[in-house]
Amino acid sequence: MSQSESFPFASIPLQEGVLPLGGTESDKATYAQRRAERKRADAIVRPLLTPEHAERMADVARTCLTQNDLQRGIQAIALAVAVNPSRPDWRQLLDRYMDEADRDEDTILPHLASPWFLFNPLQAYLAMRRQRLSNHLIYLTGVVHSFPQRDYLEHWVLPWLGSRSIRELGVSGMQQFFAALLRRYPEVDQLTDQQKEHLRLAVRRLRQVERLLGYDSQLHVLRLMALGKLGHFAAAVREAKAAHDAHRDWHSAVAMANAIRRNGRPLDAIPYLRLAARYDAQDVSALLEVGDTYLTAGQWNRAITAYQRVLHRHARHPWAVPSVAFCRYRLTGDRKFLKQLRRLAGSRGDVCGIADFFAGLKGGHGPSSRHRRAQELLALLNESG
């Protein structure tokens, strides 16, 4: 029997979980066994996530249900719906297994069931049926982050969202859900017809969320992102302006700037980026955007002024320093600025990566961005001759 023919397994393997501190030798042995089983299950199942295997697994799940072989059957239907979570007959079959899990969850859908990328979505699906998705949504978004081609969010959660579920998930849950959903979508010229449908529904749901939960700056940005991806640039600008007029803060100003830029008018976005910098005297990201916009437009003096404002707030900022050197070289032709740019491009940056990691957590630029930015700008010089 080949490895693929051994799936679904006779019993559901478990993830290893976390090794308990101060655990006994028995605890360590159990942990090691589960870890080995998890790795084995992952290696067997990942290649099976194809339409052909999904059809076969759905047939296996039907047979197992009639034979009351529920542990094998739930693994089979989990794989089928991973490949196509929207297919109605497979969803009906999944619901029958969820009915069994309601009666005996420890056996049918045990905690830490493996493979995680099949069972975490089922845990979230069961929670959704019980109106408790807020505690399990992270299981679903985590799988989608690792497997962007999986359409659980579009076919399970997005159509299910209503007044009750929106209130149950709350603002933080809605942020988590829509951020995970929208980041996977390309721009309008690359969207499929089905993706456009999903995005239009997402926009409607986001408007419903605002009516029910009130204005939230991050959800507002996500709605504008969805409108932009649909190519509704003028509508995004109108909504962004209305939000900024009502909520004058850093988020609404940046959202307005981004909507204008998406509408093909990058220089017109600059006044709103400057407003954002005024709203938050500690922030430098909006000023960096101003500098980058002017740099792209070839307006070297204005770019230098913006980057110098960054350096006034954050001395030796790793993005601003090479950007100033580049602009001064383009403005004057003085080769000392070219040498500076080359020296920055050759710098080692953050060797151990810790400073870059913590800077990234805050959405900033770590030390290594200095040499990456310098290398990027040198490439621009080479392209321009």
Q: Is the pLDDT of residue 8 over 80?
A: yes
Lowest-pLDDT choice from 5-19, 47-61, 188-202, 289-303: 5-19
Q: How far apart are CA 240 and CA 256, in angstroms?
A: 5
Give me the percent of the chain exceeding a pLDDT of 90: 83
Q: How far is CA 36 from the centre of its chain?
A: 29
152 vs 135, residue with greater confidence:
152
Q: How far apart are CA 118 and CA 138, in angstroms?
A: 14
> What pLDDT is stored for residue 127 in this prediction?
95
Strands (E) across 236-339 are located at none
Lowest-pLDDT choice from 120-124, 300-304, 366-370: 366-370
Strand-pair partners of 14? 113
Contacts of 36 (CB under 8 A, 6+ apart): none
Contacts of 122 (CB under 8 A, 6+ apart): 74, 78, 94, 98, 109, 113
Confidence of residue 17 (pLDDT cuts 50, 70, 90): confident
pTM: 0.82
Q: Is the pLDDT of residue 63 over 50?
A: yes
> What pLDDT is stored for residue 147 in this prediction?
94
Q: How far apart are CA 200 and CA 184, in angstroms?
A: 15
Q: Is the pLDDT of residue 184 over 60?
A: yes
Contact 221, 251 (CB under 8 A): yes
Contacts of 304 (CB under 8 A, 6+ apart): 291, 324, 327, 328, 331
**How much is the average pLDDT of 209-232?**
96
> What pLDDT is stored for residue 178 in this prediction?
97
Tokens 């001064």 appear where?
328
Residue 284 token pair: 């430098």
Tell me how crowded residue 271 is: count the other CB atoms within 10 A of its CB.
14
**How much is the average pLDDT of 156-163?**
96
Q: How far apart are CA 148 and CA 164, in angstroms?
A: 27
Give me the percent of the chain exceeding a pLDDT of 70: 93
**How much is the average pLDDT of 224-247?**
96
C-alpha distances in Å from residue 172, one per residue of 165, 169, 176, 331 = 13, 7, 6, 47
**How much is the average pLDDT of 258-267?**
94
Q: Is the dihedral of CA 148, 153, 158, 164 positive or negative?
A: negative
Q: How far apart are CA 384 and CA 329, in angstroms?
A: 13
C-alpha distances in Å from residue 6, one per residue of 18, 39, 59, 176, 289 = 27, 15, 15, 36, 54
Q: How far apart are CA 221 and CA 57, in angstroms?
A: 40
Lowest-pLDDT choice from 25-34, 103-112, 174-183, 222-231: 25-34
Q: How far apart are CA 141 and CA 136, in angstroms?
A: 9
> What pLDDT is stored for residue 383 in this prediction?
73
**How much is the average pLDDT of 264-273?**
96
Q: Is the pLDDT of residue 282 over 80?
A: yes
pLDDT in tens, 319-362: 999 999 999 999 999 999 999 999 999 977 544 344 343 333 33
Q: How far apart are CA 214 and CA 227, in angstroms?
A: 19
**How much is the average pLDDT of 169-187?**
96
> What pLDDT is stored for residue 37 in this prediction?
87
Q: Is the pLDDT of residue 363 over 90?
A: no
Q: How far apart are CA 211 and CA 163, in angstroms?
A: 10
> What pLDDT is stored for residue 66 in this prediction?
97
Lowest-pLDDT choice from 121-135, 141-155, 231-245, 341-355: 341-355
pLDDT in tens, 285-324: 999 999 999 999 999 999 999 999 999 999 999 999 999 9
C-alpha distances in Å from residue 80, one per residue of 36, 49, 74, 77 = 24, 8, 10, 5
Which among 276, 267, 261, 215 has a CA at the least distance from the CA of 242?
215
Contacts of 292 (CB under 8 A, 6+ apart): 303, 323
Q: How far apart are CA 232 and CA 167, in angstroms?
A: 28
Look at residue 262 and give its three-state secondary structure.
Answer: helix
Tell me how crowded residue 22 is: count the other CB atoms within 10 A of its CB.
6
- For the chain, what is the mean pLDDT? 91
Q: Is the pLDDT of residue 117 over 80?
A: yes
CB pairs under 8 A, 24+ apart, for 191-196? 191/229, 191/230, 196/230
Q: Is the pLDDT of residue 29 over 70?
A: yes
Tokens 């969820």 appear where?
98
